[in-house]
């Protein structure tokens, strides 16, 4: 079995790894690289392998950094199946179509700015038509149901507990067992089940987004959130929360509902300003097989985990624009989580110049994204191609991360046993990946590597 690491190598975006086994060429994920606009467009436009030579894609979950470049792959000649869980299929169709529409809209907006400067227009990476062409390739496999891939490679999905439908991929071929974690979730997180423990393996590709640190406990995070919201309300400011439409929005809604019921925060209107998040929430409602016991108990009592009296989901552009003229405090949750696209950019333009505003970052912010610049305290940034001064309070709250932290990553890895000979640490910036790699060596794994993009390995 041969591996080539094509994306999410010493970075957290653009997940993509090539597996060659049994005469077949398989991709693990086909994610969108996010970062500086020109660099990201260049990286996403080309592939290090010929797409027409790929026999199948195994998709771990529906986040854009894992599935978001499938339309480009299909447009460049891929004709195989994209294998995923049923919930991932339902969510990926939403995510890819939204990604295409956002790219089309942002390209049109930036082109207008360029036109005023006499600069050439920009084009989207792919279109809605490209996304729709990709849907025909999606094939679903439930957790725990063995599936035969090209080349006789045997696939089994385990629940990763990261977002709805997320999967750990177990691949058996030529006497070798390879496990790809995708993104692992956290123990004790609301809504979803804990990550499923895998059986023994020869080789492991493991994420390391938080491989060098432990998260704030959930209870402490809820208290910190309540304090930040109470302070913002007292100064009558808006609270802007950039959030991934898939997973993070639903968790925030769940937590805000609980905090208001417990009177831990003042009553205030809460808006989920994202058609995608609204649609994704509906997908959550039709996949209770992914929920933990507490969430299923709510459903059995006919309670809505994703709705409450002060909450409103907005769809239209007109509704979104109206939020900029709200009087008094309010929470506005809008995509995207790293502030790279979508409606959050327009809310930042309208409110981030006001000192009473709170910009609350609750997701990992990759290098070279606007969200990372805000998290690092930069006050002079570019929003939608134009310079902007940030006067708002910016706070980071990592307690809501859907990624396993270092203790959870090591907890999950230990049961793999003495058969594990190779570990490849991916989906983390260099410091996080190197730290987790050292911990895995300390556990006795003989061959632990932090690959760079383009690196190869044989198992």
Q: What is the pLDDT of residue 362?
A: 93
My answer on whether 420 and 347 are in the same domain is no
CA–CA dist 25, 344 (Å, integer): 39
- Whether 243 shows a pLDDT value over 80: the answer reads yes
Q: If you average pLDDT over every residue of the chain, what do you get?
A: 94
User: What pLDDT was estimated at residue 385?
Assistant: 81
Both 209 and 222 in a single domain? Answer: no
Task: Report pLDDT digits (tens) over 245-286.
Answer: 899 999 999 999 999 989 999 999 999 999 989 999 999 999
Domain with residue 300: its CATH number is 3.40.50.10890
- Residue 42 shares a structural domain with residue 185: yes
Domain boundary among 381, 400, 419: 400
CB count in 10 Å sphere of residue 105: 14
360-399: pLDDT as tens digits: 999 888 888 899 999 999 999 999 888 999 999 999 998 8
Looking at residue 372, its pLDDT comes to: 94
As a whole number, mean pLDDT of residues 186-203 equals 95
Element housing 39 (H / E): helix 37-45
79-115: per-residue pLDDT in tens?
999 999 999 999 999 999 989 987 898 788 888 888 8
* 416 pLDDT higher than 80: yes
Based on the fold, state whether residues 203 and 230 are members of the same structural domain. no
Work out the average pLDDT over 283-293.
Answer: 94
Which DSSP state fits 85?
-
Q: 84 and 185 share a domain?
A: yes
Q: Which two tokens stand for residue 250?
A: 């639903």
Same domain, 107 and 132: yes
Instruction: Dig out the tokens for 283 from the structure.
Output: 């997908």
Which residue, 400, 416, 440, sits at the end of a domain?
400
| H or E segment and range at residue 157 | strand 154-159
Are 54 and 200 members of one domain?
yes
Tell me: do 206 and 289 sit in the same domain.
no
How does residue 126 score in pLDDT terms, banded at 50, 70 and 90? very high
Please tell me whether residues 222 and 206 are part of one structural domain: no
pLDDT at position 322 over 90: yes
Q: Check residue 117 and give its pLDDT.
A: 87
**Is residue 423 classed exposed, middle or buried when 0-12, 13-18 and 19+ CB atoms within 10 A define those classes?**
buried
What pLDDT shows up at residue 154? 98
Domain identity same for 391 and 411: no
Q: What is the pLDDT of residues 418-439, one digit of tens each?
A: 899 999 999 999 999 999 999 9
pLDDT at residue 36 in the model: 75
Residue 24 is part of which domain span?
2-213+402-458
- What crossing angle do the helices spanning 86-117 and 275-285 adopt, rounded to 10°? 180
147 and 222 assigned to the same domain: no
**E-assigned strands of 181-290?**
203-207, 238-242, 270-273
Count of the separate structural domains present in the chain: 2
Which of 400, 420, 442 represents a domain boundary (last residue)?
400
Q: Which two tokens stand for residue 236?
A: 């009558």
Across 186-210, average pLDDT = 95
Assess whether 196 and 341 both reside in one domain.
Answer: no
CATH number at residue 53: 3.60.15.10
Question: What share of the chain has pLDDT > 90, as a percent?
Answer: 81
Among the residue ranges 26-30, 34-38, 324-328, 419-423, the one predicted with the least confidence is 34-38
Q: Give the model confidence (pLDDT) of 38-58 as tens digits.
A: 788 889 999 999 999 999 999
């Amino acid at each position: 079995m041969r591996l080539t690491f094509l994306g999410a190598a010493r970075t957290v975006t653009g997940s993509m790894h090539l597996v060659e086994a049994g005469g077949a060429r398989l991709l693990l994920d086909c994610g969108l690289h996010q970062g500086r606009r020109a660099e990201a467009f260049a990286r996403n436009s080309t592939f290090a392998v010929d797409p027409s030579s790929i026999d199948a894609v195994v998709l771990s979950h529906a986040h854009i950094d894992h599935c978001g470049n499938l339309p480009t792959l299909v447009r460049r000649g891929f004709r195989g199946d994209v294998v995923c869980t049923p919930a991932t299929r339902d969510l990926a169709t939403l995510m890819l179509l939204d990604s295409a529409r956002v790219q089309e809209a942002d390209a049109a907006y930036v082109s207008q700015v360029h036109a005023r400067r006499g600069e050439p227009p920009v084009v989207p990476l792919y279109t809605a038509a490209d996304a729709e062409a990709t849907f025909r390739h999606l094939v679903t496999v439930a957790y725990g149901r063995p599936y035969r891939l090209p080349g006789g490679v045997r696939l089994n999905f385990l629940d990763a507990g990261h977002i709805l439908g997320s999967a750990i991929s177990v691949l058996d071929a030529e006497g070798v067992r390879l496990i790809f974690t995708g993104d692992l979730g956290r123990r004790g997180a609301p809504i979803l089940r804990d990550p499923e423990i895998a059986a023994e393996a020869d080789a492991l590709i493991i994420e390391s987004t938080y491989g060098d640190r432990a998260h704030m406990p959930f209870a402490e995070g809820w208290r910190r959130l309540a304090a930040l919201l109470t302070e913002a309300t007292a100064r009558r400011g808006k609270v802007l929360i950039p959030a991934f439409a898939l997973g993070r929005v639903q968790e925030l809604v769940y937590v805000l509902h609980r905090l208001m019921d417990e009177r831990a925060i003042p009553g205030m209107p809460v808006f989920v300003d994202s058609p995608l998040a609204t649609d994704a929430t509906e997908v959550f409602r039709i996949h209770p097989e992914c929920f933990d016991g507490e969430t299923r108990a709510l459903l059995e009592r006919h309670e809505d985990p994703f709705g409450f009296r002060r909450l409103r989901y907005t769809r239209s552009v007109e509704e979104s624009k109206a939020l900029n003229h709200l009087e008094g405090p309010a929470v506005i949750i809008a995509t995207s989580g790293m502030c790279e696209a979508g409606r959050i950019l327009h809310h930042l333009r309208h409110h981030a110049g006001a000192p009473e505003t709170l910009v609350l970052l609750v997701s990992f912010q990759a290098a070279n994204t606007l969200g990372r610049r805000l998290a690092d305290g930069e006050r002079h940034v570019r929003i939608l191609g134009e310079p902007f001064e940030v006067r708002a309070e910016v706070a980071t709250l990592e307690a809501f991360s859907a990624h396993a932290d270092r203790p959870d990553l090591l907890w999950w890895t230990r049961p793999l046993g003495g058969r594990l000979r190779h570990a490849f640490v991916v989906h983390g910036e260099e410091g996080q990946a190197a730290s987790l790699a050292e911990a895995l060596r300390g556990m006795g794994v003989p061959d632990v590597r932090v690959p760079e993009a383009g690196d190869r390995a044989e198992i």
